[in-house]
Amino acid sequence: IEEDDSISVTKIIKENKVGLFLVTTVLSYFQSKIGEEVDVAPGSEMVGAIEAAEDLGIPLALIDRNINTTLERALNRMSFIDKIKFLIGLLTTDTDDEEIDIEELKNPDKLDDLLEMFKDEAPGIYEVLVHERDAYLAGSLLRIPEDKVVAVVGAGHQPGINRYLDNPETIPPLEELNKIIDKKGIPWTKIILALIPILFVVIFFLAFLNGINITYNIYQFIGISMLMGFLGSILSGSKIQSAIVGGLVAPLTIIHPLLAAGWFSGLTEAKYRKVRQRDIKNLAHFDGFRDLWNNNIFRVLLVVIGTNLAVSIATLVILPSQVFIPLFMQIFGG
């Protein structure tokens, strides 16, 4: 792929992969920063292994799971609070203030301590990023028909892979490890988001049945929704056209739980900002906010997030306090 080839940011938005893309980008950024600190390019060991295999004419097998599958499974294991803690932890980590000693990290005891700390802090993510990948890597190795295989893996995975190779019957089917798992437990967030628009419609309907003139309230609902959709988009740095679209669709997206105003403003923004491969590359190597602000894909995704955030504030705070609670009080004589 040429660096200047256009990429489909619309696919990221339409498939609701904005969060996954941002997490991948943040992780790539920190991988790049750590690589700079220790003077080792990310993935250089894999590149070295591939080059050595090609030079020697040895067949090559890529045995790891697709990174998107791994991250989606990890994100689905996390609660909303866990995701916030994870994001804050990433954003507040400063690799510049810490000296990283690669040789020390190779020490098995040190590595075990780090893995145990990771397991205690985020057991769900640890399960997906470490245990599942250990099993997947071991299972992939066993599927290779050759008698002699040289595997190049991260040091943190070596003990787990060895355990699975010694006990192959404990390896889950790789097809199961490739599935995108649903979140465990009751999806309260989805339930609440689905109930809110139903509640709004019920309150309007009850007010109408009780002979209350709801014309002004409907105008309030539409006006506040449109204003917040417009402001969320424009304050995120969007084109005026994107902000208008975000405002126009906001009332509909509040009533329809499967739609989001940010999708529409973001898709409109993507038409005016030509996102290229270099935007993806540069996103993992930014040096400050100015670099981000000049990055087209960041600007498009910022519009998506900003619009959705503003409309969510309208849905959860402004509309209930200004429209629906007063109307509810009228219905029941409060």
Model pLDDT for residues 213-226, shown as the tens digit of each residue? 999 999 999 999 99
Reported as a pLDDT band with limits 50, 70 and 90, residue 101 is low
Q: Of 106-110, 212-216, 225-229, 323-327, which one has max mean pLDDT?
A: 225-229
Averaged pLDDT for residues 51-55? 91
Q: Is the pLDDT of residue 303 over 80?
A: yes
Q: Is the pLDDT of residue 230 over 60?
A: yes
Q: Is the pLDDT of residue 234 over 90?
A: yes
Instruction: Please provide residue 48's backbone torsions phi and psi, each rounded to the nearest 5 degrees.
Output: -60, -40
Backbone region of residue 99 per phi and psi (left: phi > 0; alpha: psi in -120 to 50; beta: other values): beta
In this prediction the pTM is 0.68
Taking each continuous run of H as one helix and of E as one strand, the counts in the chain are 20, 0
CA-to-CA distance for 186 and 277, rounded, in angstroms? 39
Domain boundaries, the chain: 43-177, 188-331
CA-to-CA distance for 41 and 33, rounded, in angstroms? 9
Pick from 320, 294, 105, 97: which is nearest to 200 by CA?
320
> What is the predicted pLDDT for the residue at 224?
97
